[in-house]
Amino acid sequence: MHKYNDLIPIYEWLPSFNKNKLLIIAGPCSIETEYDTINIFKEIKNTNIVDIIRAGIWKPRTKPGSFEGSGIEGLKWLNKAKDIYNMPIAIEVANASHVKEAIKYNVDIIWIGARTTVNPFSMQEIADVLNGIDIPVMIKNPVNPDLDLWIGGIERIYNAGIKKIAAIHRGFSLKDNTPFRNMPLFDIVNKLSDKIPNLPIICDPSHIAGNSNLISFIAQKSIEYNKTDGLMIECHSNPEKAWTDAKQQITPKMLLNIINAIKKYSDNDDFIEINVLRDKINNIDYDLLNKIAKRMQLSKLVGKYKKHNKISIQQPDYWKEMLSKKIQYSNTLNLNENFIKIIMQMIHSESVEIQKYNI
C-alpha cells in the first residue's frame, strides 16, 4: 500500500462532522479569562456553523514580555466550556509536555504551529510522545516556503502512527510589500496535494490576512485555488479588546456572514443580499490591486531596460496606440470611455513616475 493511503478523511475524525460540508474551526487566538471562554463558546455554538472550537493556550510570541497564554489554567476553563456546550476543541501544541496536557484535559484535536513545524527536533519530540495515541493532528505550514520541510513534519507525525492528519495553510513570512501578514502560496498547497492526494487541507485565512477585512477574500481564494476541506478562523466576542491578534479576529456574527457568503458563491446562487454583494465587490477590488501591483513591477523592468538601452521613458506614439486599443476594447464591455481614459492615464503616469524615480 502506498504511504499515506491509509490517512483517514477529515469527516470521519469525529462523529459530529458532516461529509458534505466545509469543516469550520473557529475560536479565539488566545484563551484569556474563564468568563470570556464560556462566553465565546456560547456565541460560537449559537452560530450553528462551527464544528470545532480552536483556542490558543500557549502562545508563541515574537518578543518576550507580552501575554504568553493562560497555560494549564486556561485548559481547565476550556474543558469546562467544552462540557457545557458539547463542542469539540482544538489547541496548539509546541512540545511534548503540551501534548501530554492536551490529552489529560480531553482535547479532541491538536495542531502544530508554524514556528514549530519549522524545527525538525520539535516535530520529532512531538511525534515521539504521540506514538500509540489516537488523536487527530493538524500541521501548519512552516514559516518559510519550504514544502519539503512541511512534508517532513507531516511524515514524522505519520510515522508515529497517526492516521488523522491535516495540513493547515497559514501563509508564509515573506518580507515583501504584500497586503498580507503572511503571504498565501496556493501553488505550494497544490504541490502538497499532488504529493499526498488524500491529505485534508485547511486554510487559516486569519493568519494569512492579519486583518479582519481580508478574511473572506482569502477564504474564497483558497476554495477556488486549492482542494480546501475546511477553514480555521479566529473568532473573539470583542476583537478590538483581544489580548493577541486583535486586528485579525472577527466576531461570531461576522463569521456567520462570511461563511454564508462563501456558501452562496460556491452554490452559484444569485441570492441578492447586500453583504454578499459587498464581499464580492471587495474581492474584485483586491484582485484589481494585486493586478496593479504586478503591472507596476513589470513597468519597473521596462524602466530598467529603457535605462540600460538609453531609450527615453516617454514613448508617446506607442502610448497613444495602446490607449486607443484599450478604449476600443472597453467599448465592447460597455464601459464609459472617459472613465477608462482617466484610469489608464493615471496608471500610465504612475508607471512613468516609477520608471523615473524608482529604479
Q: Which residues bind ligand PEP (CB under 6 A)?
A: 29, 56, 60, 92, 113-115, 140, 170, 207
Q: Which partner in ligand PEP, Mn ion, none is near 114 (CB below 5 to 8 A by kind)?
A: ligand PEP
d(CA 219, CA 258): 9
Instruction: Give me the least distance between CB of 49 and Mn ion, in Å please.
Output: 20
Binding region for Mn ion (CB under 5 A) out of 22-30, 141-149, 178-186, 280-288: 22-30
- Determine if 29 is a binding residue for Mn ion (CB under 5 A): yes
d(CA 176, CA 236): 29
- Determine if 139 is a binding residue for Mn ion (CB under 5 A): no
Amino acid symbol at 167 = A
How does DSSP classify residue 235? Answer: B
Cβ atoms of 214 and 179 closer than 8 Å: yes
How does DSSP classify residue 183? Answer: B
Q: Which partner in Mn ion, ligand PEP, none is near 156 (CB below 5 to 8 A by kind)?
A: none
| Cα separations in angstroms, 33 against 36, 69, 75, 93, 204 | 5, 10, 11, 20, 24
d(CA 212, CA 125): 34
Cite the beta strand spans of 211-321 per DSSP E: 230-234
Q: Which partner in Mn ion, ligand PEP, none is near 197 (CB below 5 to 8 A by kind)?
A: none
Please report, as residue ranges, which positions from 241 to 270 form the binding site for Mn ion (by CB under 5 A): 245
Instruction: Give me the least distance between CB of 114 and ligand PEP, in Å please.
Output: 4
Q: Which of residues 92 and 125 has its CB atom nearest to Mn ion in the complex?
A: 92
Q: Which three cell numbers stand for residue 56?
A: 490558543
Q: Residue 91: CA atoms inside 13 Å, Cβ hemisphere, count?
A: 32
Q: Which partner in ligand PEP, Mn ion, none is near 74 (CB below 5 to 8 A by kind)?
A: none
Cβ atoms of 231 and 202 closer than 8 Å: yes
Residues that bind Mn ion (rule: CB under 5 A) add up to a total of 2
Instruction: Give me the least distance between CB of 201 and Mn ion, in Å please.
Output: 19
- Determine if 201 is a binding residue for Mn ion (CB under 5 A): no
Q: Which of residues 32 and 245 has its CB atom nearest to Mn ion in the complex?
A: 245
With CB atoms as reference, the residue minimizing the distance to ligand PEP is 113
Contacting positions for Mn ion (CB under 5 A): 29, 245
